[in-house]
């Protein structure tokens, strides 16, 4: 583990993982997070839709690479608070021997992860790394203790890269991790985009509360993260339009959250 100290959980500053939990209808947040969450909803009512739909995208994407492409190893970076249908539950539901490594650096997430993020099968492995994604080299080093980097790995960044300090940092983080995994690995990634002024304003207001800034970026910048990779159909789209189940794509309204699933050649 990269951090041997027990960090202090701050209850006087809102935290994005806890606010996200509130928007998803969870119970793992403090009053300060509810206040910030309600303020966010007042600015951009779509944010609760984004929170719920992001989990639906995760479920569909993880199930797809496990079932259709035989992926049995997952590195979920910036996992957030456990809710329903977490990565290991979806993956091990398809392949019982799936190995899942979660990465986050929020102490509340760590507390819950130790209690809740346990394998759902005897064959599978689920573990947690306490690390900041700005140090991808450390993440890779720690993950090697659990995952076989000679076999394909699904690398996941689910709505967290807006917290990267700069766009160059964002690219460095993703490319460092992808450089460590072999051909046949997958990148599952989405992030918030700047095509909704209400969403941009929400993120600016959140920064003003003292929380770690989250920067929505243009679709083209998020799309560029997948350069050199082989896109899984339907390619780079709003997460609501990535293989929706039970409806036609044209019936699903896009939201300011775009991503894709892509294979490393």
What digits encode the pLDDT tens for the residues 179-207?
999 999 999 999 999 999 999 999 999 88
pTM, to two decimals: 0.91
Least confident of 36-40, 103-107, 229-233: 103-107
DSSP 8-state assignment for residue 159: S
* Sole residue written with tokens 């492409």: 69
CA 240: distance to chain centroid? 15
pLDDT above 90 coverage of the chain, percent: 71
Mean pLDDT, range 9-35, rounded to an integer: 86
* Rounded distance between C-alpha atoms, residue 187 and residue 259, angstroms: 10
Say how many C-beta atoms besides its own lie within 10 A of residue 6's C-beta.
10
DSSP 8-state assignment for residue 244: -
Residue 246 has pLDDT above 80, yes or no: no
**pLDDT category of residue 109 using cuts at 50, 70 and 90:** confident
Alpha-helical (H) ranges within 135-196 are 136-143, 167-180
CA 3: distance to chain centroid? 21
Mean pLDDT, range 140-145, rounded to an integer: 97
Contact between residue 117 and residue 129 where contact means Cβ atoms under 8 Å apart: no
What digits encode the pLDDT tens for the residues 149-174?
999 999 999 999 999 999 999 999 99
The predicted structure's pLDDT at residue 17: 81
Contact between residue 74 and residue 146 where contact means Cβ atoms under 8 Å apart: no
């Amino acid at each position: 583990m990269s951090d041997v100290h027990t960090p202090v959980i701050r209850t006087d500053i809102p935290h994005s993982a806890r606010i996200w939990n509130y928007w998803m209808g969870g119970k793992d947040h403090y009053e300060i997070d509810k206040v910030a969450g309600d303020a966010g909803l007042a600015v951009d009512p779509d944010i609760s839709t984004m929170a719920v739909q992001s989990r639906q995208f995760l479920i569909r994407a993880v199930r797809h690479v496990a079932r259709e492409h035989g992926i049995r190893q997952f590195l979920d970076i910036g996992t957030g608070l456990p809710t329903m249908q977490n990565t290991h539950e979806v993956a091990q539901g398809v392949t019982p021997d799936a190995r899942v490594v979660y990465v986050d650096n929020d102490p509340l997430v760590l507390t819950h992860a130790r209690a809740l993020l346990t394998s759902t099968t005897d064959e599978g492995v689920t573990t947690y790394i306490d690390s900041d994604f700005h140090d991808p080299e450390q993440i890779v080093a720690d993950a090697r203790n659990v995952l076989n980097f000679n076999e394909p790995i699904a690398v996941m960044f689910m709505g967290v890269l807006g917290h990267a300090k700069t766009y160059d940092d964002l690219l460095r983080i993703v490319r460092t991790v992808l450089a460590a995994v072999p051909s046949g690995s997958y990148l599952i990634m989405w992030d918030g985009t700047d095509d909704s002024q209400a969403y941009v304003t929400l993120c600016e207001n959140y920064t003003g509360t003292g929380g770690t800034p989250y920067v929505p970026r243009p679709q083209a910048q998020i799309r560029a993260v997948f350069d050199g990779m082989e896109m899984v159909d339907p390619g780079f789209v709003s997460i609501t339009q990535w293989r929706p189940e039970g409806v036609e794509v044209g019936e699903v309204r896009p939201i300011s959250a775009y991503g894709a699933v892509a294979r490393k050649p």
